[in-house]
Chains A and B, each alone.
Chain A
Amino acid sequence: MQTTKGLKLADILITIVISIVFGIVYKLWGPFYYFVKPFGFHLDQLIYGMWFIAATVAFLIIRKPGIALLAEIAASSSEFVTGSEWGLEVLIYGVVQGLFAELAFAAFRYKRFDVFVVSLAAIGSTIGSLIMDYYKGYIEALAPWNLTLFFVARFVGAILISGVFASSLVKALEATGVTQMVRSASKEDYDQLDR
């Protein structure tokens, strides 16, 4: 089975199943986002980070190249298929956010899985979403104080939700033993055998 190049069917299916779970969360997050929005002062941006979580959680579980991108695409397409308020937009946002999260993991050659790297991936996704917003929403035309608030809220929210919360979620999952089944053997595992 190791002879196939790239991701195996098992990796892909597990990523997609995880992403579908998050895709439903993404979908439900939409009405919540619009519930928070009228409170003003960009409080809604604090919860925006939830839309990046599929990439980080899936990568932390499977730990292979390409997983973050695939997870974010799969999550956004299942959000799209279940009838997102944003329609097609979520697909493109998903691709861009996944790509930037993937870049963060690639920067450490897919060798680090701590809170720092995951937060970096969350920041990456945030940058991706901001690039899309720049083209879509003329955000640069907001008043400066408002724009600063917008940026800070989105970055902080992303780090808290898709960085810190995601890694604590996967830690709890590791305790169930299910991650052992899906990860490929690490170098430490081989060292254990050699001993």
Chain B
Amino acid sequence: MRWNISYRETWLHRTNPSLKLLVMLALFVAVLFVHNPNVLMNFSLGFLLLFFLYTGYPLKYLLLFFVPFFVIFVSTASSMTMFGEGTTTWFQWGLVHVTKESFLRGMHLGFRALSFALLGLLFSLTTRPVYLFYSLMQQLKLKPKYAYSFLAGIRLLPIMLEEFQTVRNALKVRGADAERGLNTKLKRYAIPLLSQSIRRAQRIAVAMEAKRFSNQTNRTFYYQIGFSKYDVIFLLIIIGITALACYTGIVLPYIPVTDVR
């Protein structure tokens, strides 16, 4: 998503998008197998630092972006805390049963959700979709017909939003927006939006095919995306954070629990 917010470019913006995506996905899978809350806490803290220092956005926007993630943290943690199984009871009220085990597990889940959110936000705040798809074509050999379809699709977004407004106004003028159930209401918006989008997509696809956008052999690219010293910096910093998180989590734990399962 292109935000109309000015930001300064940091090394995170200049890293190769494909590399960044792969590293983030690898970290995602790695976090799934972390069961030690100390390690996970350090890990989220490290990425929180990256988020606040190197995404290059003004602090007030960063805080704004961060609000929904905090909500996620609380709601993910609370469900497991209140309904999870455990042996050391702290508090019981009706069906709510808070135990030491479920509380720790809940906190662990909260931090896990937080680190996933941070990984995603770090990526989407520092990557321009156009560069991402050009890089996917050049480095990961994504077929051009997929990449250019995505790029064309992104360009259609503002038209769809405009159309949504038109439909809403049309319904309002006819006094049709207040009556009947949710099902009818949903369809009133979905059908015109979908059918118009499909028609438009079909027309654009024919034009793109005629201009050989689906051609795979001997392609040249408007944006040449390669690797630079920023990729080395990126890799070093990520490895550094991960290693430090593991080391301090195991050697200097905050809480004497190593596995929350």
Contacts and interface: CB of A to CB of B under 8 A. Distances in A.
B32 interface: yes
Interface string A167-189: 00100110010110110000000
A56 to B, nearest CB: 13
Contacts of B24: 88
Q: Main SS of chain B's interface residues?
A: helix
Interface centre among A21, A30, A34, A61 (most CB of B within 10 A): A21
Interface in A92-146: 92, 135-138, 141-143, 146
A87 B202 contact: no
Interface string B28-64: 1000100000000000000000000000000000000
B124 to A, nearest CB: 6
A80 B129 CA distance: 11
A77 to B, nearest CB: 8
A24 to B, nearest CB: 8
B120 A4 contact: no
In which size bucket is the chain A interface? 35 or more
Contacts of A162: none
A34 B71 contact: yes
Contact of B109 (A38, A89, A138, A178): A138
B211 to A, nearest CB: 10
Nearest to A57: B194
A9 B145 contact: yes
23 contacts: A8-B214, A9-B145, A10-B202, A10-B209, A12-B149, A13-B202, A13-B204, A16-B201, A17-B156, A17-B198, A17-B200, A20-B154, A81-B154, A84-B120, A85-B69, A86-B72, A87-B118, A89-B116, A136-B32, A136-B109, A169-B191, A172-B187, A181-B198
The 4 closest A-B pairs by CB, nearest first: A87-B120, A10-B205, A88-B120, A17-B201
Interface of B: 1, 24-25, 28, 32, 65, 68-69, 71-72, 75-76, 79-80, 83-85, 95, 97, 102, 105, 109, 112-113, 116-121, 123-124, 129, 145-146, 148-150, 152-154, 156-157, 160, 183, 187, 190-191, 193-195, 197-202, 204-206, 208-209, 213-214, 260-261
